[in-house]
Amino acid sequence: MDRTGNAAPRSGLSRRSMLATAAAGVLIPGMVAGAAAPHAAAAAGLTRKLTIYAEPLPGGQFGYGLEPGKASIPGPLLEIYEGDTLEIELVNNTDQRLSIHPHGVNYDTNSDGAPLNNSFNKPGETRTYIWRTRTQYKAANGFWMPGSAGYWQYHDHAMGTDHGTVGLQKGLYGGLIVRKRGDLLPSRQYTVVFNDMMINNKVAPDTPMFEANQGERVEWICIGHGIFPHTFHLHAHRWADTRTGMLNGENDHANVIDNKNLDPGASFGFQVIAGEGVGPGAWMYHCHVQNHSDMGMAGIFLVRNPDGSMPAGAQEAIDRFKHHDHTGHTAQSGATAHSNH
């Protein structure tokens, strides 16, 4: 796909082949012991090195990318296993100060990404950030301390203000998944960022259309940024309100939901089987704050037929969406809302 939406083009590719082509935007954690391996000791962790380029994009926006000239909004979806360390060389190809600041993982003050700790890239500067993760462990007091596994995110913390407010507005953000060994791996991944009054810095009808074939396992990574509270709603699909979005067996009575708060700084993820129990079709995802959806915080989850063909009525639904009047979004979403493509 469309690198702006991270609608991951994984279908038909094995996890290992994707690892060999990391430029596709995803760091695959596989490799170490395989997806089916039991939880390994923290000592099994690997150090994974990568270079990320922060670059200007058309329309005054900015993005992170894994190669020069390939920056996108959101940035590449980063994915590792608990116990691994990520060593990120951040190249600043802009004329502004910026950084990369993660949620959910461990780091020293000099990898914090905050001006408070003098931890950022000056214009044109390259700087290394180290993010560490760990498996759960029993602390001396007998409490179980959580591991790093979760649906997290990273973002700029230095452009414009000491909190990176301008960098965030303009697109310097992305998803970060830390998995436990044994977690089920999806066929496709979608990163959805509710940022101010935009989705991935777009407003409808230019918001990303995420596609899958009926029966495919798809993973959603949902992130909130900006200054407004939001709620993420997905039509016709639901998930458990747990770390993975899945139940832990037939006697797991975790709450099942299809709508979840997505306030600034929050992130969560889940997996669904596309079209399970409902069939293929053009299904909406949107913010459920009504004036937000009315103003363009909506998009389409297109579940194709199992053979990849278009289901009956779906194209008509897409056409209807494209011509839908998202009244007022230009007034509300401001200059950053405009498409950069």
By beta-carbon proximity to Cu ion, the closer residue of 188 and 292 is 292
Q: In what order do the strands lie in the sheet with 267-273?
A: 198-199, 188-195, 217-225, 267-273
* Sites of contact with Cu ion (CB under 5 A): 230, 287, 289, 292
Strand 47-57 to 61-65 pairing? antiparallel
Separation CA 190–CA 273 (nearest Å): 13
By beta-carbon proximity to Cu ion, the closer residue of 26 and 287 is 287
Burial of 290 (0-12, 13-18, 19+ CB in 10 A): exposed
By beta-carbon proximity to Cu ion, the closer residue of 66 and 199 is 199
In the complex, the smallest distance separating the C-beta of residue 292 from Cu ion, rounded to whole angstroms, is 3
Count of all residues that appear for the chain in the document:
341
In the complex, the smallest distance separating the C-beta of residue 262 from Cu ion, rounded to whole angstroms, is 8
In the complex, the smallest distance separating the C-beta of residue 241 from Cu ion, rounded to whole angstroms, is 19
In the complex, the smallest distance separating the C-beta of residue 224 from Cu ion, rounded to whole angstroms, is 9
Contacts of 316 (CB under 8 A, 6+ apart): none
In the complex, the smallest distance separating the C-beta of residue 198 from Cu ion, rounded to whole angstroms, is 10
> Residue 335 half-sphere exposure, CB side, CA atoms within 13 Å?
6
By beta-carbon proximity to Cu ion, the closer residue of 282 and 295 is 295
By beta-carbon proximity to Cu ion, the closer residue of 231 and 244 is 231
Burial code of 83-118, b = ≥16 C-beta within 10 A, e = fewer? bbbbebebbbbbebbbbbbbebbebeeebbbbbeee
By beta-carbon proximity to Cu ion, the closer residue of 57 and 289 is 289
Separation CA 333–CA 297 (nearest Å): 10
In the complex, the smallest distance separating the C-beta of residue 230 from Cu ion, rounded to whole angstroms, is 3
